Amino acid sequence: MQDEDEQEIDEQTSLNTLAAQCTNIVDAKYVIQKLLNLVVEKGVESAKAQYDKKELSARIQQLQKEYEQANQLILLTGDPDVHEVMEARKQERKSASPEDRFVPYSTFLKNELSSSKTNIAVPSGSDKARRRTATTDELLGTSLMLGAKEVAQNLRPIPETASTSDSAGDEMKKSSNSSNMGDEEDLSSQADAPLTSRGSSSRQRVAQITAFNSYVPSSARSERGTPENFRNRFLCRTHTAEGHQRHVNCVHATETHLMSGSRDRTAKYWDLEKCQIVLDLKSHLNHVNFVRILPEERHLAITGSLYVAKVWDLRSGECVKHMNSSGLVEEGSNERVARENKVPASEALMYTCAVDDSNKYMFTTCRNDVRVWNLDTFSSVLLLSGNHSDEVSCLAISQQHNNIIRLAAGSRDFKVGIYDFNPLTHAAQSRGVLSPPHKSLVTAALCYKDSLFTASRDKDVMHFSLRDFKRDHIENDAHNKPVAGMCLIRPLSDHPHQSVYLTTASREGSLKFWDITSSNRMRLADSIYNAHSKGINGVCANSQLVFTASDDETVGFWQIQ
């Protein structure tokens, strides 16, 4: 210690000497560098000394607690009453069965002492000794004692981390021979494996519709919200549809039935009157991107996955047609198919569909264009093109007075293109793109009378007029995360005015309700935060209910009030 003090004095003396002899900038830089090195060195030594001091203090406290516990044990073993209890218990052990012999010492000692009248001091729970960290040798020694079967039973699959990207620059990777399924995850990392190996729950969920309990324990309110989050003056959560093993991507409803599509490659057909599942439609190539129930007299439904739209007979549950994005139509098949992650060069991803009011024509996305289908003959009619430089991501339809079908197509090039389609002549006309565009890819579009509402990943909602194609209003940052879907509701409480409200669903799991009839501007009327514990991917409504598809693998039922 004395040598270190002398060395430190010598260093300070040498530095003082150098500082006194400093005559130019070079010498000054040298002295400053020496001082910095000395400060860093002393700081490291000081931190190390403080760390050693803390370790020694912790060790001293541990030894003190061990010493106190040893004294308590000596007092306990020296007490005659305790000695008699232990001897009696030892005699009972000798005659006991093997199952009764392996009783922890602390258990029977606590039971015997609690029944005795002797006042014995027992260490309190607050005086627990500090747990010593197991060494590597001890851990290895323990693992060697386990059988291979026990080790295998203890292994559990690593849960999948849901990766979502809300940035404006998150574009889809494109190739002439392959394409990604969506923006939420990379399909190249998926395989045709059991659901449990891809991150879903090992417990197969039973497909059922259950009454929703608005009571949430205090421990879960931070994630799901308080009971007040599940109702407002427009909606009240009533039921939940469960059964999908992965995120629910889309929903579509009529007055009596509901259809939901999921990332588990299935679409489920529900009876709303009986509150039960009717059909479980499988054999999809990949995620189910869209679902559509045709009028009940036709008993048909359409589901889209990857580059194929399947037409289902809802009476038998059989797939009757395959409508490919290229325009080819094939006979349907119910054979189980392996998961496909790549799209053939001649095909394109089908992101969504839209059906006109007559339910005769269907529009589907096809790269930068939109394909028109005749649902009476299940044949391709026309390809609408010319407005976009990137893939079309969403569609909306407005029926004009002259029987012209006006189609709005939102794209990944941030623009919304307008087409007019004549169902009598099968002719189409491009009306150009709306200006100004969004700041990111368009995620949702909805038409109401002569108005068009569009939403984007930039979290904005725009209101355009379909008469002059000008923007009437923009709602900046309508949600904290991108809007995933929109629908219209007519609350019963507004009767007889029957005001219409635009409902927007967000990836943050919230719902917002906008007054769109009182003026051209969108006025926020109410909202429901944390409507789901995870993000909402789609929303639809009939005259009485609103349905929300969520990443929490459920469909929420909301009664319109």
Decide: 549 and 557 in contact? Cβ < 8 Å. Answer: no
Q: CA distances (Å), 148 to each of 141, 144, 155, 433, in order?
A: 14, 9, 11, 65
The pLDDT value given to residue 25: 81
The pLDDT value given to residue 170: 44
Residues 201, 215: Cα–Cα separation, whole Å: 24
Other C-beta atoms closer than 10 Å to the C-beta of 347 total: 19
60: helix, strand or coil = helix
Q: What is the largest CA-CA distance in the chain?
A: 107
- 428-447 pLDDT, tens digit each: 999 999 999 999 999 999 99
Residues 51, 62: Cα–Cα separation, whole Å: 17
Which of 124, 90, 130 minimizes the C-alpha distance to 109? 90
Decide: 457 and 443 in contact? Cβ < 8 Å. Answer: yes
The pLDDT value given to residue 524: 92
pTM of the entire structure?
0.63
pLDDT in tens, the chain (561 residues): 555 556 666 666 666 776 777 778 877 888 788 888 888 888 888 988 988 898 898 889 888 888 888 887 777 666 666 667 667 766 666 555 444 444 444 444 445 444 444 444 444 444 444 555 544 444 433 333 334 344 333 333 434 433 333 443 444 344 333 344 444 444 333 434 444 444 444 456 788 888 886 543 333 333 333 334 566 778 899 999 999 999 999 999 999 999 999 999 999 999 999 999 999 999 899 999 999 999 988 899 999 999 999 999 999 999 999 999 999 999 988 788 889 999 999 999 999 999 999 999 999 999 999 999 999 999 999 999 989 999 999 999 999 888 899 999 999 999 999 999 999 999 999 999 999 999 999 999 999 999 999 999 999 999 999 999 999 999 999 999 999 999 999 887 655 556 889 999 999 999 999 999 888 889 999 999 989 999 999 999 999 999 999 999 999 999 998
The pLDDT value given to residue 427: 94
| Per-position b or e across 142-174, b if 16+ CB within 10 A of its CB | eeeeeeeeeeeeeeeeeeeeeeeebebeeebee
Residues 330, 10: Cα–Cα separation, whole Å: 93
The two three-digit tokens of residue 205, written as one number: 């969920």
